[in-house]
């Protein structure tokens, strides 16, 4: 297949989320929103203006927020529980486990400003552990869309899905990669660029960087495959195994710790089904410092150029060109 085109315009995925939420809310009065003093950062102002009685702001009380969401679901409503991902997951993990996942409650958890989007606020506001915390819980799909188009499609799917969902959204602008009308399928990766030398797997804010890294590699005569792995759980085992067997090396990149996230999920498949050289790019097991998300991603070796270099190093390990 031909590689997708990366547009220059950047989109805030929160805009796509609220656009779909308001449209669905107009069609279904059972849709409600719950937030933790985050009407502005969740961009729920329009929803609140249209249906003030359908928005519950619990204040800075994340455990309560998740419990309220579970209660609303038990009462037959369809709650979208929105909050900064670092607090929605970290502060409320027990409630997410017991009230949402264990109870299989029909609650949509929307972790906004994920990864290092709150960069200047430092380690307390970085959300680089949420994949690890969320993907270990049964019954809970974990999704990090790569662009505004996939975000909209994932919200559509989540609203129809009968069960809990964790949707991880950044506030950092990203270009659109997927075609208009894209239909989200949980557990299915998107092949954005084909190649046979090495596979780059990413999601969220890193997917477009992986595409740029593949373009750099192409100028060096190296054809890299790029997979957008939006769903961390359930993971696309078939695509991963195929990539391992056909390209012989896999590089993952994520706005998350190198422990427990996308790279770990991919490695679990690779080691069991098709062992090949792998490298996991992410935050290297430390508390990330302050700084913009763009700066921090570059600092931790996830600029497109650094990703291309890491892919070339994998080729040496698999016995290919240096």
Mean pLDDT of 118-138: 95
Q: Outline where 161-288 has alpha helix (H).
A: 207-219, 237-247, 262-273
Mean pLDDT of 310-318: 94
* Separation of alpha carbons 89 and 158, rounded Å: 18
In CATH, what class is 190-317? alpha beta
pLDDT at 126 exceeding the cut of 60: yes
Give 319's pLDDT tier (boundaries 50, 70, 90): confident
pLDDT at 321 exceeding the cut of 90: no
Mean pLDDT of 46-61: 95
**β-strand pairing of 231-233 with 142-143:** antiparallel
The number of CA neighbours under 13 Å toward the Cβ of 234 is 9
> pTM here?
0.95
Read off the pLDDT of residues 94-124 as tens digits, 9 standing for 90 and up. Answer: 999 999 999 999 999 999 999 999 988 999 9
- Identical fold for domains 10-175 and 190-317, yes or no, is yes
Mean pLDDT of 251-271: 98
95-106 burial, b at 16+ Cβ within 10 Å, e below that, comes to: bbbebbbeeebb
pLDDT at 250 exceeding the cut of 80: yes
Mean pLDDT of 76-104: 97
* Separation of alpha carbons 175 and 9, rounded Å: 6
In CATH, what class is 10-175? alpha beta
Pull the structure tokens for residue 266: 């991919």
Domain assignments of the chain as residue spans, ordered by start: 10-175, 190-317
Give 40's pLDDT tier (boundaries 50, 70, 90): confident
pLDDT value of residue 3: 60
pLDDT value of residue 86: 95
* Separation of alpha carbons 302 and 294, rounded Å: 9
């Amino acid at each position: 297949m031909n590689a997708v085109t990366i547009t220059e315009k950047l989109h805030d995925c929160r805009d796509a989320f609220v656009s779909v939420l308001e449209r669905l809310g107009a069609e279904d009065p059972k849709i409600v929103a719950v937030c933790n003093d985050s009407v502005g950062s969740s961009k729920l102002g329009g929803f609140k203006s249209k249906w003030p009685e359908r928005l519950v702001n619990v204040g800075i009380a994340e455990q309560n927020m998740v419990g309220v969401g579970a209660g609303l679901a038990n009462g037959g409503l369809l709650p979208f529980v929105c909050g900064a991902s670092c607090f929605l997951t970290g502060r409320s993990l027990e409630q997410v486990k017991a009230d949402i996942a264990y109870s299989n409650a029909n609650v949509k958890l929307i972790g906004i400003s994920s990864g290092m989007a709150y960069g200047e606020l430092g380690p307390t506001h970085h959300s680089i552990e949420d994949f690890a915390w969320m993907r270990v819980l049964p019954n809970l799909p974990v999704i990090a869309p790569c662009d505004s188009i996939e975000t909209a499609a994932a919200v559509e799917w989540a609203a129809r899905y009968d069960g809990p969902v964790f949707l991880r959204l950044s506030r950092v602008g990203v270009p659109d990669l997927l075609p208009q009308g894209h239909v989200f399928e949980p557990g299915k990766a998107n092949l954005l660029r084909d190649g046979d030398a090495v596979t780059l797997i990413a999601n969220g804010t890193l997917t477009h960087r992986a595409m740029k890294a593949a373009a750099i590699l192409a100028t060096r005569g190296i054809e890299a495959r790029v997979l957008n792995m939006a769903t961390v759980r359930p993971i696309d085992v078939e695509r991963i195994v195929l990539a391992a067997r056909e390209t012989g090396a896999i590089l993952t990149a994520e706005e998350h710790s190198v422990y427990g996230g996308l790279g770990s999920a991919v490695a679990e498949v690779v080691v069991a089904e098709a062992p090949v050289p792998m490298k996991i790019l992410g935050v290297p097991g430390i508390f990330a410092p302050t700084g913009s998300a763009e700066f921090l991603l570059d600092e931790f070796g996830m600029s497109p150029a650094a990703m291309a270099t890491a892919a070339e190093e994998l080729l040496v390990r698999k016995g290919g060109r240096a």
